[in-house]
């Protein structure tokens, strides 16, 4: 087991390069996921605004049922 110091340092250098490549790939994947999450949140909020804008008219049966049962949820 005659491994020279130069060989060990070369192996460590190779491992370091591989770890850096993995770190870069993970960073890119995480930033992509973050952008997807931000886009999904924006779309969800826009959908809520659109529903609120279009929701006009007399209360529905479901709304009236919720109002009549409201005290059961907060008691």
What's residue 1's pLDDT? 55
What's residue 73's pLDDT? 63
What's residue 65's pLDDT? 78
44 is written with which tokens? 């969800």
What's residue 16's pLDDT? 93
Compute and round to an integer the Cα radius of gyration of the chain.
29
What's residue 17's pLDDT? 93
What pTM did the predictor assign? 0.41
Mean pLDDT for back-to-back runs of 10 residues, the chain (75 residues): 81 92 84 82 86 71 78 62
How far does CA 62 lie from the centroid of its chain? Answer: 32
């Amino acid at each position: 087991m005659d491994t020279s110091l130069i060989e060990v340092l070369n192996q460590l250098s190779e491992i370091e390069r591989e770890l850096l490549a993995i770190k870069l790939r993970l960073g890119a994947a995480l930033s992509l996921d973050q952008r997807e999450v931000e886009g999904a949140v924006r779309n969800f909020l826009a959908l809520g605004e659109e529903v609120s804008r279009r929701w006009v008219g007399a209360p529905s049966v479901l709304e009236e049922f919720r109002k009549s049962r409201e005290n059961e949820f907060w008691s």
